[in-house]
A and B are shown apart, each in its own frame.
Chain A
Amino acid sequence: MDKEPSFKKNPLSLQIDLSKFSQESFAPATEEEKRQQDVMGESTTFFKDGMRKLFRNPLAVMSIIFICLILLVIIFAPMVVPYKYEEILSVEGRRDKGAKNLAPFTYSELEQKYIENGGTRFPHIFGTDEMCRDYFIRVVYGTRVSFFIGLFAAIIVLIIGMLYGSISGYLGGKVDLIMMRIVDIIYSLPDMLMIILLSVVLQETLQFPSGTFLARLGTSMVSLFIVFGLLYWVGMARLIRGQILSIKENEYILAARSIGAKPGRIIRKHILPNCLSVIIISTALQIPSAIFTESFLSFVGIGVKAPMPSLGSLANAAREGLQSYPYKLVFPAVMICLIVLSLNLLGDGLRDAFDPKLKR
C-alpha cells in the first residue's frame, strides 16, 4: 500500500514543523499589512510635541503644579481670610494690643476670651507681626507683589532686549558695532546706583491722576518697571544678539534669502524660533532676578511703599526679631526660594522640551 511516510518528530528537534502552517501563511503581505509595519512615530505639531515632552518631565510638572498653587493662593486667599494686609487686629472694635508677635495658630488673650464667649475667629496661620497684623495675609500680598513685579519686569526686558538684540545681530557690521557700544555703556554703569538714583528721581517727578490704573499701582512700582526697562534689557539684548549671530551663519538662512524672503520674515520665521529655547530660559531666570532686585530696593526703602508688603521687605523686617521669632523670616524666605526654584526648573524643562536638537 502506498502510504505517506510519517516521521515521528523528535520532541527536542528545533526543525520547523511545516504541517502546522497552511498555504495562506506564506501569502505575500497585502498593502495594508505592509503599512502596519511602518515604524513611524505619530506626527504631531511642534507645540503639541513640546508640551507632551514637558509633561513627561517630573521636575517641570512639579514646578508647574507649585506655581499654579501659589497663583491660586495669591488670588483666592484674600477673599477667604477676613483680615487685610494693613489692618491692625481688633476684637469687637477694640484694638487688640496683646496680638503682637503671636506664634502660628495661636490667639491673643482678648481673642481667647472672645472665643470662650462663643465668637469665632479665623486662625492666624502664620501668626502676627510686631504691629499686630495678620502675618499670613501679609505674606500672601507680598508674594502677589513680588510675582507681579517679576513677571512684568521679565516681559519688559524680553520685549526691549529681543527687538534690540535681533536688529543688532541681524544687520551686523557698523550698525551692530554702534548698538553694542551703547549696550556696553549701559552695562558699565553701576546698576544699583542707577536704580536708586532713578527711583528717587522718578518717584519725585511721576504724578499720576488718582483713580487711574497707574495711580493704583503706585509710583514706586511704576518707577521700578521703568528702571528695569532702561537698564536690565542689556543682558537679554546681548544674549539674543549672540544667538542670532551664530544662527545667521546657518545655510537655511541663506536658503530663505535665495527664496526671496525679506529680513523681517527671516527674523520672525527662522531666527527667533531657533533661539526660542535661550529666550525662554533667560526669561524664566529674569523673573527671580527681578524679585531679588525688588527685595533689595524695598530694604533700602525705595521699593514698595509701606504698608504694602513684598517678600523682600517682609524678610528684612523680620531680621530685627530674628532670635525670638525666627519663623517670621522663614515664611517669606522659603517663599522666595520655592518661587525661584520652581521658575528655574520650569525654564529648564521648557528648554528641554522645545529644543528639537536635544531630541533623543
Chain B
Amino acid sequence: MSETLVEVRNLKQYFPVKVGFVKTIPLKAVDDISFTIGKGETLGLVGESGCGKTTAGRSILRLYKPTGGEVIFDGELITDSNITRMRKKMQMVFQDPYSSLDPRMTVEDIIGEPLDVHKLCANRKERRERILELMEIVGLNAEHATRYAHEFSGGQRQRIGIARALAVRPEFIVCDEPVSALDVSIQAQVINMFEELQDKLGVAYLFIAHDLLVVHHISKRIAVMYLGKIVEIADADELNGHPIHPYTESLLSAVPIPDPDVTRARKRIILEGDVPSPLKRPSGCPFRTRCRYATEQCAEECPTLTDRGGGHEVACWVK
C-alpha cells in the first residue's frame, strides 16, 4: 500500500437540533468514522441520501467544525490555526455545478480566486497564464475565460469547478457527488477526466457518490456508510465480489447488470422500511431495524470495524 496522505480518526460531526423551546439534542450526522487515503489513491464513499457522506467530506475539510476526532494530513494534524495553509493542499469539487459557481464572476475570476486568496501569482500575466493552463487541463477553450458561468452547460460548469479546485495544485480533493447532477453521457466524460487528472497530477480523491458502478469504476477502495457510520470498507473488487455486511449486499443486489440472464438468475434483496431518523437512532447496530440477520446482540452493542483479512473491514456481529 502506498504512503498515507489523509488519515481520519474517529471523526464526529453532531449538529444541535432544537426540540421544544430550549432543549437541543445532537443530530449525529457523522458518528465516529475512521479511514485512511494513500497518496494518489481514490477512496469511494457510498451510501444512501442522508447518511452523512457529504457532511463527512465537509468535516474533513473543516468547512464544519468537527465535534470530535481528528484529521491528519501528510503527518500534520489539521487545526483551526493551520487550516488556511492546509486549504492549499486540499480542495473540494461540489455536487451542484449550478449553485457552486458565483453567477457574478467570469470563469477567469472563478478559477483565479484561489490564486488570489493564496497570492500564488506574482503578476497579472502569470495569473492569466496559469488560468489558461488550468482551463486547458480540464478541456475548456481559452476564449471561454471571459464568460459567465450561466453561459455554460452542466458538464462545462463542472469542469470549471474542477479547474478551480486544481488551481492551488492540491494533493487531495474531496469530490462531493461531482457527477450526480449531470447527464449520463456527460458523467462518463467527467469521470474519465478525474481519472486522467489523477494519472497526470497524482492527486488523491475522496469520491463521494451514491452510484456504486461509478464508484467501483474510479475507486481503489470503497467505504460504505449507513446512518453516519462506516459499515464496510474494502478494496473495490473485493467489495464488489464478496460483500459481507448485509447492507452492502442489498446495495449491490440493486446495481443493474446489463445481462438479462444474470439479472433473471440473481436474487434482489429488498430492504424493508425506511432509514431511521438520525435523531432516533436504533440502539446497538444502526442497521439492525432493517437487517435480515439481526439478533439480540445487535440491539445491545454497536459492532466496530474488524479486519476480515486483506484489509476488508466490516462492522457486523452476525457475518
A→B interface (CB under 8 Å): 40, 43-46, 250-252, 254-262, 265, 269-270, 273-274, 276, 356-357, 359
Decide if B84 is an interface residue (CB 8 Å cutoff).
yes
Contact present for B100 and A260 (CB under 8 Å): no
Contact present for A43 and B61 (CB under 8 Å): no
- Chain B residues with Cβ below 8 Å from A260 are 83-84, 87-88, 114, 117-118
Find residues 154-181 in chain B having any chain A CB closer than 8 Å to their own CB: 161, 164, 168
Contact present for A258 and B117 (CB under 8 Å): no
Q: Besides the contacts A254-B63, A260-B118, A357-B103, what 4 more A-B pairs have beta carbons closer than 8 Å? A: A258-B91, A259-B87, A260-B84, A274-B104
Of the 9-residue stretches B144-152, B246-254, B270-278, which lies at the interface with chain A?
A: B144-152
Contact present for A251 and B114 (CB under 8 Å): no
B271 to chain A, nearest CB (A): 31
What is the chain A residue whose CB lies nearest that of B87? A260
Contact present for A257 and B100 (CB under 8 Å): no
Chain B: interface residue total (CB-CB under 8 A): 32
Which of A250, A265, A274 has the most chain B CB atoms closer than 10 A to its own CB?
A250
Alpha-carbon gap, A45 to B87, bound state (A)? 30
Decide if B133 is an interface residue (CB 8 Å cutoff).
no
- Chain B residues with Cβ below 8 Å from A258 are 61, 63, 87, 91-92
Contact present for A359 and B150 (CB under 8 Å): yes
Report the 8 A-B pairs with minimum CB-CB distance, sorted nearest first.
Answer: A260-B87, A251-B100, A273-B104, A251-B99, A43-B146, A252-B102, A258-B92, A259-B114
CB<8 Å pairs between A and B, sample of 21: A43-B143, A43-B147, A45-B146, A46-B104, A251-B95, A252-B101, A252-B102, A254-B58, A254-B100, A255-B92, A255-B100, A255-B161, A258-B87, A258-B92, A259-B87, A259-B114, A259-B164, A260-B118, A262-B117, A269-B113, A270-B104
Decide if B205 is an interface residue (CB 8 Å cutoff).
no
- Chain A residues with Cβ below 8 Å from B100 are 251-252, 254-255
Which residue of the partner chain, among B63, B104, B168, contacts A356 with CB atoms under 8 Å? B104
B178 to chain A, nearest CB (A): 12
- Chain A residues with Cβ below 8 Å from B87 are 258-260
Contact present for A356 and B96 (CB under 8 Å): no
Find residues 66-119 in chain B having any chain A CB closer than 8 Å to their own CB: 83-84, 87-88, 91-92, 94-96, 99-106, 113-114, 117-118
